Structure 1
Amino acid sequence: MAKISKAACIGGGVIGGAWAARFVLAGTDTRIFDPHPEAQRLMSEVMANAERAYGMLTSAPLPVKGTLSFSESLEEAVRGADWIQESVPEKLDLKRSVLAQIDAAADPKALIGSSTSGLMPTDLQRDMRHPERMFVAHPYNPVYLLPLAELVGGKNTTRAVLEDAKVKLATIGMTGMIINKEIEAFVGDRLLEAFWREALWLIKDDICDTETLDNVIRYSFGLRWAQMGLFETYRMAGGGAGMRDFLSKYGPSLSRPWTKLTDVVDPDADLVEKIAVQSDAQSGQRGIRELERIRDQNLVGIMQALKAGDEGRGWGAGKLLAEFEAHLWKTAPKHQANPSNEALKLLEVKVPAVWIDYNGHMTEYRYTQCFADASEALLQMIGVDTDYVRSGHSYYTVESHVRLLAEARLGDALYVTAQLLPSDGKKIHTFMSLYRASDDTLLSTYEHLLLHVSSKESRSVPPLPEVMGKLKLLIEAHAVLPAPDAAGRSVGQRS
């Protein structure tokens, strides 16, 4: 799958900065050009939130972070980039001018995306020498978490460019939805504008306040939309007869004057003040960065829950997350199963803020997560990857024993080592140790038994030869190591 090797972000504000964070965390070297005097400080705050969110989002091995640098000029930023994302303010003349500068300075084969929320790509292409490679890539905030970008071409954009952009976005965990025709505001903002217009009327007419309106969304159809969208939700409302029955029952209600969608509200001073006062009362006690962190944590929770849907295959945005994680595992540098007479070093991780409990220590289940991630790395090492699992074979944990020996704190660098104990391959018996890197303090140990199974036969079977061969070499190499003192311990056993 073609990846984005170098990216450039022209404009580093809320959207441009989040694009840069998405690129960097996917392992892409990224340069930013933004003349704002505090651009670097603001970008560091966005990057900190993005890294915090990814620490919660996935345990798949992220690639080595790409470099993030600021350029003194637009021309310097785009030099050598194969994806250039323009995210300057939503002014047609400004965007045309910036895109023309990008076009003149960039490699002719580079893709050029615009983050515009509604300007037509044909209008934006007007002054470009290579308009065929320019398109709208309209994301949703926060770009580093929400996976959608609407891909909209102008009259000069080639379909091959849009298809190439879609493939490249998948390598950074996004999905590019190609929109068939260019229209103002595209698809997402068309829907949001209609929704926003009706919401303003409900506030203006004192039907409810801003907090009530937000609660109606987040406690009801917002949860449904997060997994199934609009049409699939309404299909179920039609019962067994499906969408035809739903439309026959509820279609006539569209003629009733329930909404004011064709009547534009006047955002006069009184309405602006009313909304501002209600919004301040609703959430004004929290700063923007705090709200962003709360938003990110909630989004991660929803996406993780959706990832577990459909029997682990994922649903909605969770399915996209599962696919991105599979891509990360497949493209991550593999630990080589080179047999040596020493314990394997399988995992290195730094304790993020979300792993800390109310005592300021790493919470209990995160120790086990470290060992689970190390076990995943061991399985990848011997060839038990996503393709192997799809073929109908896997290892299941059947027993484990954890000892918690010392505390880890925020920011501590940790690593896990593993020793393979005598086993036959059908069973894997490991003893793992979690250390603090700064002083090699032993924090925890984990004795672990895995059983190889055939999911098709629903029973334990020996691993396939290619896995067994790698595993046997490791078991034999570790057979000369002394047994760990704590191996075979039971709960409460005296030292």
Structure 2
Amino acid sequence: MKAAIIGGGVIGGGWAARFLLNGWDVAVFDPDPEAERKIGEVIANARRSLPALYDTALPAEGNLSFHSEMADAVQNANWIQESIPERLDLKHRILGDLSELAPETAVIGSSTSGFKPSELNEKGARAIVAHPFNPVYLLPLIELVGDAGACENAAPVLRSIGMFPLMVRKEIDAHIADRFLEAVWREALWLVKDGIATTEEIDEAIRMGFGIRWAQMGLFETYRIAGGEAGMKHFMAQFGPALKWPWTKLMDVPEFTDELVDLIAGQSDAQSGHMSIRELERLRDDNLVGMMRALKKTGSGAGGVIQRHEADLPKPEAPDLPITGDRKIPVSWTDYNGHMNETHYLEAGSLATDRFMELIGADANYIASGKSYFTIETHVRYLSELHAGNRLTIRTQVLKGEGKKLHLFHFLYGPDDTLAATVETLLLHVDLTTRASSLPDQAVAEKLGAYHQAHAALEQPEGAGRSVGQKA
């Protein structure tokens, strides 16, 4: 599959990274002589953060190419994304050219944050709005606006690269999300202009309070909870009168004078000027990964999108020792020493055990039927340092797989196939109704027995059966 990116700024670079890291070939057209450097830096940040959302490896990266002619970039493309500046005359020209040059089956999406598709296409183009949010390589929301059939065809493609397409029912200026942002932005400008709050104080009000709530529940679900046991109707009755109070200046916008611009820019410099843009991006990405991984555990908000995308990612297998883990190490797994913390070696081993259970049929459906394996003993050996961004591959050997017992030995490999750790674990099959040990179902026992028999000829791994402090 191939994506053509027209315009390589912050948004175009994010699109390039999202497609590239999901296995697509990406062709970029941007006349800016610095485009290759800028996109390279965005992709470097994406390589550091996007794989950290997942506990399964993303597909192998596609090929990235840069082109001086737009026709060369869009040749044989399946998806074409325009991310040029927000000038309607410029978009008319570029989208018109794309509609002539692009394959008939290609999706032509525009990243416009404000223009309606009827405006984009009034000169004969055939684009839809595919409006993303920065950073495109991490945040899943894409607002789709335009021809219903074209949007329906575009949605599965976006889901396949881990995004969340939101169909906008009717075209409207600024779509849905940016209208909320514009309202908040207008209020923020007044608060600064009137000397009520600084840029930092406004940001603190967002990130220390409702911003975290919105990340998991949005607006209406948050207010439903605020209504207590009586629910949304009670909330509306209680706070509805506030709509008549002078709490906002939504349509009353302060004049954008040089003094106001200098005031805001100066406060922003004082707030964040000690960090470069790339440092701020990495801080933002690390925080987003941490929050989105937390949401992933419950399947809430953006975490549910990651869950569904991860379930569709290919699971590698090998005939000798099955691969039970293949992922990038997230920053959140490292500690003050700069390397992977021992807690997460155990977590990696636990995830490998879960993957092996899936291989033998003891998966989510099996657990839902009332049966599972419980861990009763684990031993971890730390052999080499692992760092954020390292590729971690886990292979698993079955030491025992008979009756109620499942005895596994996980090999954790870091860069250059260096053995970084081993995790040995003993499990018992359990009936979840009685919470007592029991024999596994025949189908599970047969698959486990096949692995046990295949691994019986292998040498006992070094370190198996060791206790803490035992001498070699």
**8 Å Cα contact 2:58/2:327 also seen in 1:** no
Match of 1:206 among 182, 191, 195: 195
**1:158-213 Cα deviation digits (max 9, x unpaired):** x2221222222111111111011101001111111111111100100001111111
Q: Distance in 2 between matches of 1:411 and 1:295?
A: 16
Aligned to 2:155: 166
Residues 466 and 23 of structure 1: CA distance in aligned 2, closer, same or farther (over 3 Å): farther
Structure 1 stretch 118-127 or stretch 458-467: which is displaced more? 458-467
Match of 1:447 among 417, 420, 424: 424
Aligned to 2:343: 365
Q: Distance in 2 between matches of 1:284 and 1:273?
A: 14
Q: TM-score, normalised by structure 2?
A: 0.92
Aligned to 1:150: 143
By how many angstroms is 1:448 displaced?
1.2
> Mapping of 1:261-340 within 5 angstroms?
261-309=250-298, 314-328=299-313, 332-336=314-318, 338=319, 340=320
Match of 1:397 among 375, 382, 390: 375
Amino acid of the residue matched to residue 399 of structure 1?
Answer: E
The SS at the match of 1:421 is strand
Aligned to 1:240: 229
By how many angstroms is 1:447 displaced?
0.9
Aligned to 2:58: 62
Match of 2:205 among 216, 228, 240: 216
Structure 1 stretch 368-377 or stretch 275-284: which is displaced more? 368-377
By how many angstroms is 1:387 displaced?
5.6
Aligned to 2:186: 197
Amino acid of the residue matched to residue 171 of structure 2?
Answer: E
Match of 2:25 among 17, 22, 29: 29
**1:363-404 Cα deviation digits (max 9, x unpaired):** 333433443454344344434555655666554433210012
By how many angstroms is 1:71 displaced?
2.1
**8 Å Cα contact 1:56/1:297 also seen in 2:** no
Q: Distance in 1 between matches of 2:89 and 2:369?
A: 55
Aligned to 1:429: 407
The SS at the match of 2:19 is helix
**1:259-310 Cα deviation digits (max 9, x unpaired):** 211211101011111111111000111000000000011111111122223x
How many corresponding residue pairs? 472
By how many angstroms is 1:221 displaced?
1.0
Aligned to 1:136: 129
Residues 434 and 230 of structure 1: CA distance in aligned 2, closer, same or farther (over 3 Å): closer
By how many angstroms is 1:241 displaced?
2.0
By how many angstroms is 1:72 displaced?
2.5
Give the share of equivalent positions with the same residue, in percent. Answer: 51
Q: Distance in 2 between matches of 1:274 and 1:360?
A: 39
Q: Distance in 1 between matches of 2:108 and 2:187?
A: 35
Q: Distance in 2 between matches of 1:55 and 1:353?
A: 11
By how many angstroms is 1:48 displaced?
0.9
Residues 376 and 278 of structure 1: CA distance in aligned 2, closer, same or farther (over 3 Å): same
By how many angstroms is 1:252 displaced?
1.5
Residues 71 and 387 of structure 1: CA distance in aligned 2, closer, same or farther (over 3 Å): farther
By how many angstroms is 1:214 displaced?
0.7
Amino acid of the residue matched to residue 138 of structure 1?
Answer: H
Structure 1: gaps (5+ residues): none
Aligned to 1:471: 448
Amino acid of the residue matched to residue 324 of structure 1?
Answer: H
By how many angstroms is 1:104 displaced?
0.7
**8 Å Cα contact 1:19/1:143 also seen in 2:** yes
Residues 485 and 111 of structure 1: CA distance in aligned 2, closer, same or farther (over 3 Å): closer
What's the RMSD between the two structures over aligned residues? 2.5
**8 Å Cα contact 2:57/2:327 also seen in 1:** no
Q: TM-score, normalised by structure 1?
A: 0.88
Amino acid of the residue matched to residue 89 of structure 1?
Answer: P
Residues 210 and 115 of structure 1: CA distance in aligned 2, closer, same or farther (over 3 Å): same
Is 1:491 equivalent to 2:451 in the alignment? no
